[in-house]
Each structure stands twice: as C-alpha cells, then as structure tokens.
Amino acid sequence: MVEAPFLVSAPGKTIIFGEHAAVYGKPAIAAALSLRSYLLVSAHSPAKAGQISLEFPDIKLQYSWDIASLPWDHAPSKATTPDSLCPPSELHEPLVEALETPLANIYSSFQRVAAHTFLYLYCSILSPSQTGVTFSIRSALPIGSGLGSSASVSVCLATALLLLAGDISQPVHTAEVDHGKTLDLVEAWSFLGERCMHGNPSGIDNAVSAHGGAILFQRMGKGVPNRQESMTSFPPLKLLLTDSKQPRRTAVLVGNVGTLLHSFPKIAEPIMDSIEELTNEAFELFQKPVEKCDAQWAGKLREMIRINHGLLVALGVSHPKLELIRAICDENEVGETKLTGAGGGGCAITLVNEGITEDKIEILRKQLEEHGFELFETSLGGKGVGCLFPSQATASRWEDWEERVFSLHHLLALETRDHIEETIGVGAAKGWDFW
C-alpha cells in the first residue's frame, strides 16, 4: 500500500496494421506511442479526508464525492486472496445502475463517461475506509482521435487504485519478482474501465497501454481465448503522427464496411484477406532481432504501410483530409503514410525515411498547419505503465522541482501538451520506473 502523492503514466497506442479487418476476427498489430497520459494522486487536507475528487481539465471535468455516500452495498465483493484479485471481464450491473445517483449532476456525456469509469473502478478496488485523495489527469495525447487516450486513462486509474489498495507494489527489479502478473492485473482492471467507456472494446488498446511495446491481437470465437502475442524485440521506430482534426464516428465506419462486405463479398472479402496476410507478414518482420532491423528491413515495412493504406482506401474508410495529409507527406518525401484506427478522419501515421532532418520536418509541420492539421513527433514501441514517487525522483533543472512535479496547482495550470511533457513527462522528470 502506498501513500500520496505519486504520479502514474501510461502511453497511447496506434494501430499499424489490421484495422477494420480485426472486427472480423483477423489479427491486428498495435504499438505504444511515446505520447502519454499522466495521473497525479495527491492528499486532501484533513477537512476533506472523507472526500474524493476527480480533476480532468482537458475535458473540463472537476467533481468531488463523499466517500461514505458512494454505493458500496452494490460493489462486487473484493477478492481476498492474491490469486483471485483479477476481476471478471464483465461489468457488475448492480454497481453500474447504482452509480447513476452520484453521477446525476454531471450532464455532459463525455464528462459523465469519464466520471462513471473512475467511480466504477474506485468502488470495485478500494473500500469505504480509504482516506480521501484527489485524482488529477492530464493528457499529452489528442483526445478522441483514435490513439487510445481513454485506455491510457483507464490504465492510469487502475494502476493508481491498485497501488492505493496494496494489491500491487512499486516496481522492484529482481529475479524473484514477476512484473508480468502486475501488468496482467492492471490490464484486466483497465479493461473494465474501457467497458465503462465503450461497451464492447477489443482489449487491444488497454493491453498495449499497460504492457508497452507492441502486440498482435486477434479476437477469437465464443469460448476461445483471444490471441495476444507481445513483440518483445520490437525496435523503437520514429513516427510522425498527424491529427486531421476531422471528427468521425467509429460505429458508422464499421457499419459501412459491413455493408460493403454484404453488397460486394467477392470483392471486399479478398481485401480483408489481403489485410490479414499483410498483418501476418508484418508480424514475422517484427520477430527479427533488433540488430537485424536495418535499412532494408525498414524499407520493407514502409512499403507494407503504403499497401495497407491503399487497401483501407478501397474499403471506403479514408477521408479527403487524410488523403491531403498523405499527399503533403509524399510531396515532402518524408516517408510512407497511412490512416490509423477507424479512419474517416482522426489521425494518419508516417514512418519516416532514414536521414530525414529536423529542418525538413519543420517545413512539413508548417505546411500541415496551414491546412489546420497538427503534427506530433513520436516513436513506437515505448514503455508501458510507470510510476514516480517523491522518494525516487531526483532533482531536475528547477530548484522547486518537487513542488512542480507533485503539485496539483502546477499540474492543473499546465497549458499545452509540451508543458505537460516538459514538467512531469517520462523524458523530463527523473526517477520514473516501470513494471
């Protein structure tokens, strides 16, 4: 069991191969991004010891609840042995229904879903005797752009609550400690958080966010466990990610692909089969040792990205803005570009050619911004969930580093994603540790 303050961080994800085909039981490959969400758990004053608070300024959510007033009688019984801490894969409906009362005064659907996820996990993992704390979330991820921001938040919440409950411990890097069990537990609880947000998620987003790296994921039939294979040798890859700022509805896009398959099965089904073959070949490519991931290896990967985008275009899930992003990237000869996720808007990813300079990327950035797009420089295959405690942190470039990093006031005042990363980011604040 740990005490506040402490920070938790988890990455977003991007699907590299297999989107849309995964809906029909075919494999998909997803990788963690270096863009992350951050959660600060800070202690309340004695006067507020009986309250919990949730601060999520990126979606303008700020709310508090009396701990005693939460529907504890409807929460699932807490497992008492380490072997049974893992939750069921289905939501506990009595708790879902009972949470309508503490959520009654939150009218925004976006804010309500976030608060519901938080309260469901809080009541399921902790107990009424928990001392009040504030949970403050900041994200360096674009929210609602298909980059797994909700899963990243769910992983942060699940990890923080499990630490507070004493169900998991801080990372200890010895041969006797199996961090895989910790990450599996975080993954299982965060999947329930994803269920609160999305109803029937695939599980790929929170799996990548918890474990990091990259995974091949495939939903199997009823009664058959999903296929999930980690790619431990996945090399760090420099990636450009462009947000089209075009909203889209995943359910509509998935439905349109279903209609296409029904109307033109002899045409659309071979496209799905080709995406599957492409994903399997990419998986084999990623199994090579890192030292063999040379220029030829990277060139083949870029070619596969180009082909995958063309197949998705044929399924009708691109968008004029995504095609414009791809055209601008092609004109600047920075690499190969494809849509990621559901398409119809959202983001595009570009696997960068070798030798591309920062000057050339800045030229590209300006051209994209002229069209209202936003460019992020990121990398694939980074660390999964991690934590930072004051006892582990070392002095940064600020004299008041501890106040800045673990201060609720400073966290809420950070204005941009760059400010978040520069102040509390995994690459900025020293002492972050990972399971």
Return the CATH number at 140: 3.30.230.10
> Are residues 401 and 372 both part of a single domain?
no
Could you tell me which of 91, 89, 119, 93 has the C-alpha nearest to residue 104? 119
Q: Is 207 exposed, middle or buried (0-12, 13-18, 19+ CB in 10 A)?
A: buried
Query: What is the model's pLDDT at position 424?
Result: 86
**Taking the C-alpha atoms of 367, 372, 377 and 382 in order, what is their torsion angle to the nearest 10 degrees?**
-150
- Model confidence at 44: pLDDT above 90: no
Phi, psi for 263 (deg, rounded to 5)? -80, -35
> Are residues 67 and 123 both part of a single domain?
yes
Give me the residues paired with residue 376 across strands.
241
> Are residues 397 and 250 both part of a single domain?
no
> Are residues 104 and 219 both part of a single domain?
yes
Query: What is the model's pLDDT at position 291?
Result: 76
> Are residues 103 and 221 both part of a single domain?
yes
The domain spanning residue 328 has which CATH number? 3.30.70.890
Q: Catalytic one among 205, 359, 400, 433?
A: 205
pLDDT, tens only, 311-338: 999 999 999 999 999 999 999 999 999 9
Active site residue 205: yes
Total H helices, total E strands in the chain: 13, 13
> Are residues 246 and 360 both part of a single domain?
yes
Asked whether residue 40 is domain-assigned, the answer is: yes
Asked whether residue 309 is domain-assigned, the answer is: yes
Asked whether residue 160 is domain-assigned, the answer is: yes
Can you list the alpha helix ranges (DSSP code H) found in 109-249? 109-125, 149-165, 179-198, 204-211
- Model confidence at 235: pLDDT above 70: yes
Q: Tokens standing for 275?
A: 């995406």
Is the CB of residue 147 less than 8 Å from the CB of residue 345?
no
Under DSSP, the state recorded for 201 is -
> Are residues 250 and 352 both part of a single domain?
yes
Asked whether residue 124 is domain-assigned, the answer is: yes
What integer is the mean pLDDT of 416-430?
Answer: 84
Phi, psi for 35 (deg, rounded to 5)? -80, 135
**Taking the C-alpha atoms of 246, 252, 257 and 261 in order, what is their torsion angle to the nearest 10 degrees?**
-160
Domain count, the chain: 2
How far apart CA 172 and CA 94 sit, in angstroms, is 37
Give me the residues paired with residue 434 across strands.
386
Asked whether residue 1 is domain-assigned, the answer is: no
> Are residues 265 and 298 both part of a single domain?
yes
Range of the domain at 429: 6-233+384-434
